[in-house]
Amino acid sequence: MVILPEFCNSPNGNDAFYAESIPGDSTAVYSQAAQDNKVFLVAGSIPERKDGKLYNTSTVFNPEGSLIAKFSKVFHIDVDIPGGITFQESKTITAGDNLVTFDTPYCKVGLGVCYDIRFPELAKLYVDRGCQLLIFPTFFSVTTGSAHFELLTRARAADNQLYVATVSPARDETTSVVAWGYSCVADPWGEVIAKAGHEEAIVYGDIDPDFVKKIRSQMPLTKQRRADMYTVMDLSNN
């Protein structure tokens, strides 16, 4: 499986930006690349134009090049950190309201985009849907990435006892939002098993569904939940 970062076909910023429909020019390229290389391709995310609105949408292609999943980012990054980053994604992007999973011969995968990783309930609902791997194409800035990027990747992996892959663009100091980089994969024990630097790189992480089972049987967090005290309900549209 190959994973690309958030906004992998366009610049990232507060202003109006390039967008296209799905299917469209970019997804045609992703479909062909998946087919040529016989891989599952999680094509990061791209700005999608649909019904006069813009979405931050991730597409997934199987090794035959078919579009098998499409997820639009659920949570807007609307933040104001003086001296750091001010971003109002809700000014341009419409939020999605679906959780999306897809099956591979190896494991079931749940999708989020970047800021979605900050909401533990989303990951929890994917556990309930049977996922062993969560994928977040991301574009953390240097400000929040240095503080939280690896922390959040490891936290979502440890508290849900599954693999988490967070995939960032390489750092480019000339762009309006400077990406943190440091793509990584954390395992169900919360350890980082693969990690890039901030420069362009390909990182390989082995996903072992048996290790997910092992950690969950050693420490059965899901069974130990206190549904008598609280519940997280899946009200997503699919």
Ligand X SMILES: O=C(O)CCC(=O)C(=O)O
Residues acting as catalytic residues:
6, 73, 114
Contact 176, 141 (CB under 8 A): no
Q: Which is nearer to ligand X, 119 or 189 (CB)?
A: 119
What amino acid occupies position 130? G
One symbol per residue from 47 to 86: x for binding ligand X (CB under 6 A), - otherwise; what is it?
Answer: ------------------------------x---------
Residues 119-138 that bind ligand X (CB under 6 A): none
Q: How far apart are CA 19 and CA 56, in angstroms?
A: 9
Q: Which is nearer to ligand X, 76 or 214 (CB)?
A: 76
Rounded to a whole number of angstroms, the minimum distance from the CB of residue 177 to ligand X is: 7
Under DSSP, the state recorded for 91 is G
For 156-205, give the DSSP string. Answer: HHHHHTSEEEEE-PPP-TTSSS-B----EEE-TTS-EEEE--SSS-----
Q: How far apart are CA 236 and CA 238, in angstroms?
A: 6
Rounded to a whole number of angstroms, the minimum distance from the CB of residue 141 to ligand X is: 6
- Give the one residue of 49, 65, 68, 118 binding ligand X; rule: CB under 6 A: 118
- Give the one residue of 94, 144, 161, 168 binding ligand X; rule: CB under 6 A: 144
Question: Residue numbers of the site for ligand X (CB under 6 A)?
Answer: 6, 77, 114-115, 118, 139-141, 144, 148
